[in-house]
């Protein structure tokens, strides 16, 4: 079975290091035989999570659409920046809204059910965005997502990529290879994907 993996970054800023890290992940996952879909959270614009808004208007359609993307894949990889030692608000808001999805077309629907995820981070500082991954891991585990142990964290990100968008350091290349391999293997084992 070919593993289907969804990849996105936790930032939509032009030239974001997390977006560049996500692009490296896509290349590596494809190289290892996965079928990869790369999306931008910018294509799933959502209001700030608000239970009053949800009670009045229901879960936003873009949250359902993002949930369908997650459900249609065996696993997903998030490349995230770190904001004040934690999760960027864009990413947290998207995760929270998708967790509120209970139905699609009248049928019961839980996008995160049976999903496995890999986490990567990037920062121009020494800590490589790794502090934010502790919080991201906790949030996703609460949503019943299984998180693989290997991760790839890119420090000094403004100098980490070559002219082709690949990692300069062998250490980072090996880390991403390990992340991709582990995610593909585990995603194949636990797949519950819903094909549209």
Closest CA to 34 of 167, 187, 166: 187
CA distance 120 to 166: 15
pLDDT in tens, 129-160: 999 999 999 999 999 999 999 999 999 999 99
pLDDT for the residue 155: 96
pLDDT, tens digit, for every residue of 11-25?
A: 999 999 999 999 999
Predicted TM-score of the model (pTM): 0.95
Best CA proximity match to 109, nearest among 95, 120, 99:
99
- Render pLDDT for 59-86 as a digit per residue (tens, 0 to 9): 999 999 999 999 999 999 999 999 999 9
Q: What is the pLDDT of residue 84?
A: 92
Number of Cβ within 10 Å of residue 155's Cβ equals: 18
Give 40-65 pLDDT, tens digit per residue.
999 999 999 999 999 999 999 999 99
Contact in structure between 160 and 169 (CB atoms under 8 Å): yes
């Amino acid at each position: 079975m070919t593993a289907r993996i969804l990849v996105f970054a936790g930032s939509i800023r032009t030239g974001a290091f997390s977006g560049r890290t996500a692009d490296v992940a896509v290349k590596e996952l494809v190289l290892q035989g996965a079928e990869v879909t790369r999306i931008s959270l910018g294509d799933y614009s959502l209001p700030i999570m608000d239970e009053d808004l949800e009670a009045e208007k229901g879960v936003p359609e873009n949250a359902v659409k993002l949930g369908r993307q997650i459900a249609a894949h065996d696993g997903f990889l998030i490349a995230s920046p770190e904001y004040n030692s934690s999760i960027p608000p864009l990413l947290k808001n998207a995760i929270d809204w998708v967790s509120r999805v209970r139905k699609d077309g009248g049928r019961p629907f839980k996008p995160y059910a049976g999903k496995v995820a890999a986490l990567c981070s990037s920062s121009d500082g020494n800590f490589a965005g790794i502090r934010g991954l502790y919080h991201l891991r906790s949030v996703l585990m609460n949503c019943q997502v299984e998180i693989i142990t290997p991760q790839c964290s890119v420090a000094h990100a403004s100098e980490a990529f070559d002219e082709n968008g690949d990692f300069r350091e062998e250490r980072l290349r090996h880390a991403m290879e390990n992340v991709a391999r582990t995610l593909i293997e585990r995603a194949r084992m636990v797949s519950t994907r819903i094909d549209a």
